[in-house]
Structure 1
Amino acid sequence: MATQDLLKTLSLIWKGSRSASSLEGQSLDFKTEKPHTKETAQDLAEASVCFANAGGGTIVVGITDSGTGPAAFVGATVDIEDLRSRIHALTEPALVTDVEDLPFEGHRLLVIRVPQGLDVYSTKKGLVTRRWNDQCLPMRPADVSRLDDERRGNDWTVQPTDRGIDEIDPDALLRARSLLRGAPDETRRKLADADTLDLAKALKIVTGTRNRLTRAGEILLCRAATSANAEVIVYQYRATPGGEASAVRRWGTPLILSFAETIDAVAARNGITPVNTSSGQQLQVEDYPSVAVREALANAVIHGDYREKRPVQIEHSPEVLTVTSPGPLVSGITPQNILTAGSRARFPSLATAFRILGLAEELGQGVDRMFREMVRSGRSVPEVTEEDHPGLGTRVTFRGGPPNARITRFIAELPDAEREDTDTLLIVRMLCEQKTISATQAADVIQRDLQGTEGVLRRLSSGDAELLEPTAGTVARRHPTYRLRSAALAALGPAVKYHRRATTDVNRKIVEHVREYGTINNSTVQRVFDVDVYQARDILREFVGREILVRVSEQQRGVAVKYGPGPSFPEKRPRKKK
């Protein structure tokens, strides 16, 4: 955590707004000294091991967990060099940390910055833990082995099996050739007609002089692969999330066929909602965008840990769709950085074969596409979580239900560059929920640092899209507060929960319309302000209450009721002669 961000966090505790424990998370922990220096060093060595085995983190010494306000700041007395040396001596392999003083409101605090490890770390007592949200949890032997492989670059799927290319399933081979014929580049298209051995070599799934299939090749192209669970994918469909499953499918290897059939099973039960744009184009909005589901499943089967001997689980209902894979996220990837951390394959050999076949993204854009497609369909972003019970797993959750057609239509009419930009779409989604945002608020959502987030917001306020504008009171600040421009606000209409309307603007437009046409009705107000029937009703009620308008038609109910000038209708001022 950057010092500037840490100081803001400490200010929340000092002011009494938050306790230290409520601010702890995946990369931040607060500690106090123990009665003896030796005990303090042991406690901090254990906390450092915990962070090193995860994505690294920051430990602040001198603040109590439960207190708030100045009373929570008890300070630290331990010597910096002594503490650094003790942590180094108490860990295996020896862990190098950065320890520094941090004066705060008259108190001496210590900040220990722990890098993400290049190895699997433990204390000299053999304790191996890893940070999990705000806790340090013991690692199972399987977790230690998996983390050790990932950090050393060992690929379990590149190991040879006792199966040769003659055991490749004929249907799986036909499917592979079909995928390659549809590849965008000629090099891969030529592979479609290559002999089986050359094709397997191109996919990098054979090894040795005897041309044995690797575990990746066996899982991908052979039936009853011993390298994987008997069931690699299990799919269940329910009419309601808590109801009985009305359809259950189970697939074993070859994975290339199971993957395709799973996609077909989801598509067969995926509803479509038509949405018309202002240009007359009709968009077919799926309950769950097929691109997003495909990427979620590809990530699950590529990065799921086959050593767990558990299948990828898909739970599908009209309201929610979840894809759960065995094993945690790959080391260094967390739900908080999954959009920007880049692609890191748990099994590079299997991932390479998938990419050559065109079943996975080349440049790690799969997660971006999941988020982008969900927002474009007028729905909330996917939720990515790691679960530790009953076994480690990674879950991607998509929320279904009717799409927000206004958001879908608005995004479809953005300039091409912004329509394909994940940052833009996430910020638009945020501003449908809240009136203003700052770089500090948006940084966690788009998963960029403060400077990068500010650059995105400034681009959206001055680029081709001109979606945002800084508020008048913050325009001169280094990090202004931004809101949607009036044109974007009008286009989104009811999709924006707060729907800002300037009173003077409403007055002017209503009065000008009545002066020109004599009357106004609910339907006209809907068109002028891009609001729904109920919002238009409330606007007219306000004008009638102020006696600016009165009902002038015999019809008393409905959107066609006409209103004309009332007793308080403003008179038109004559122009002054020059």
Structure 2
Amino acid sequence: MLFVGKEESIKRYLPQAECIYLHYSDSNRDEYDNRLDLKIPIISVLDRLTEKIQDYNHLTNVQVGLFRLEIYDFSERVFQEALLNGYTHRRYDSPGSIYVKHYSDKLVIESPGGFMADITADNIITHPSLPRNKLIAETLQRLRYVQRSGQGIDIMYREMVSMGKPYPEYTVFNDAIRLTLYSVLEDEGFVRFITETQDKNMFTFSLPELMILRYLFENKTINLSTAKVLTQQSLNEVKHALISLEKYGLIELSGRVYMMTPSSYHKVKSDVQYTQDKTVTYLKSKSLILDYLSTHDSINNETIRELCRCTKKQATSFSRKMRDEGIIEMIGKSTATRYKKID
């Protein structure tokens, strides 16, 4: 009935299978100025609301080389996946309706029923798919309206991240879920960087790789534990993503944290910012070494590595800079090399 039933039949036998669309203007975000009450087959709802959202959808052109990349406020692919997820995972024993609230800066989709089993907003990307209504999910897959099981969330996140949008935002209640999709394009530079890199190297970033790059673009450095929580991946999977990005020449290890390489910085930021980040790392390490030498006669390379959480090469670089600055002196050779503070 949800796919081929007539409107009258759905109203009579499945009145809860309703989708209500509300549009809000910027001048009044508390009261809607347009409403649609839809008790019609799922595919018809999808077509009607896709058309409705497109009526208000603003287009931004991002110049990427000789081409222009078209980015809409709300991706049709993301919205359709989100709406169909609402139909697939909602509770049909609840009298509540699915609501689609359309603002200029966000789309809010609310559906009855909380997450299944132990799914949370913190593991939704990687948790195995558990459709509450398996028959609906299988029918949508056969009709090719959704991707194969478990791919919908990945698609939404990948599309939003690669288009420079904020992550989909889930708010969970005991009896409902709210999904918010924001329209803002946060940084065109990141979009250009991702598009150009993929086109030039003829590959597609995985979602964890995209999320790590996005984080580095905003926060400069990332460590292993932060990357694990961010991507919702296992430790081995996160390591694989970081190693891949290193092989691409996009990130590098600096101590115990990763940062973008000079060539990557040149594309999305500036050489000055890269130098500033490297300088901050050195200044922090120098401070730690000096604190250690205030209570010890000398320090060796191994201790510097443990103290500053850095590689052997970086420890050597730090000690060389401090010697060049006349702060410490080297004593001994080879494995017996130590460094003392110059009084």
TM-score by length of 1: 0.45
| Alignment CA distance shift 1:380-1:503 (3 Å) | closer
Correspondent of 2:50 among 253, 259, 263: 263
Correspondent of 2:143 among 341, 353, 357: 357
Correspondent of 2:260 among 475, 484, 487: 484
SS where residue 221 of structure 1 aligns?
coil
What amino acid maps onto 1:263 in structure 2? T
Equivalent residues of 2:57, 2:73 under 8 A apart: yes
Q: Do structure 1's residue 469 and structure 2's residue 252 form an aligned pair? A: yes
Q: What whole-Å deviation, never above 9, does each CA across 1:174-231 have from its counterpart, x for those lacking one?
A: xxxxxxxxxxxxxxxxxxxxxxxxxxxxxxxxxxxxxxxxxxxx12221232453356
Quote the Cα distance in structure 2 between the aligned partners of 1:418 and 1:436: 24
Equivalent residues of 2:154, 2:207 under 8 A apart: yes
Identity of aligned residues (%): 24
Quote the Cα distance in structure 2 between the aligned partners of 1:441 and 1:371: 18
Q: What whole-Å deviation, never above 9, does each CA across 1:331-368 have from its counterpart, x for those lacking one?
A: 23221111111222111111111111111111321101
Over alpha carbons, which structure has the higher Rg? Answer: 1
Q: Do structure 1's residue 314 and structure 2's residue 88 form an aligned pair? A: no
- CA drift at 1:420: 4.3
Give ranges in structure 1 of 5+ residues lacking alignment. Answer: 1-217, 475-479, 506-578
Quote the Cα distance in structure 2 between the aligned partners of 1:299 and 1:265: 19
Q: Do structure 1's residue 345 and structure 2's residue 131 form an aligned pair? A: yes
- CA drift at 1:451: 2.5
Q: What whole-Å deviation, never above 9, does each CA across 1:456-498 have from its counterpart, x for those lacking one?
A: 1111112xx3211000xx2xxxxx310011121121128x9x9
- CA drift at 1:418: 5.5
Q: What whole-Å deviation, never above 9, does each CA across 1:136-185 have from its counterpart, x for those lacking one?
A: xxxxxxxxxxxxxxxxxxxxxxxxxxxxxxxxxxxxxxxxxxxxxxxxxx
Q: What whole-Å deviation, never above 9, does each CA across 1:476-522 have from its counterpart, x for those lacking one?
A: xxxx310011121121128x9x94335999xxxxxxxxxxxxxxxxx
| Bigger RCO of structures 1 and 2 (CA < 8 A, at least 6 apart) | 2
SS where residue 501 of structure 1 aligns?
helix
What amino acid maps onto 1:332 in structure 2? D
SS where residue 222 of structure 2 aligns?
coil
Quote the Cα distance in structure 2 between the aligned partners of 1:420 and 1:260: 31
Quote the Cα distance in structure 1 between the aligned partners of 2:196 and 2:33: 39
1:172-211 correspondence runs (5 A): none
Quote the Cα distance in structure 1 between the aligned partners of 2:35 and 2:102: 10
Counterpart residue number, 2:64: 277
- Aligned pairs, number: 273
SS where residue 275 of structure 2 aligns?
coil
| Alignment CA distance shift 1:420-1:500 (3 Å) | closer
Equivalent residues of 1:325, 1:393 under 8 A apart: yes
Quote the Cα distance in structure 2 between the aligned partners of 1:466 and 1:504: 17
Counterpart residue number, 1:415: 198
Counterpart residue number, 2:274: 500
Correspondent of 1:393 among 170, 176, 193: 176
Equivalent residues of 1:275, 1:284 under 8 A apart: yes
Equivalent residues of 2:16, 2:94 under 8 A apart: no
Quote the Cα distance in structure 1 between the aligned partners of 2:111 and 2:264: 39
Correspondent of 2:36 among 249, 274, 296: 249
| Alignment CA distance shift 1:493-1:243 (3 Å) | farther
Equivalent residues of 2:17, 2:92 under 8 A apart: no
Counterpart residue number, 1:372: 158
Quote the Cα distance in structure 2 between the aligned partners of 1:366 and 1:503: 37
Quote the Cα distance in structure 2 between the aligned partners of 1:308 and 1:397: 22
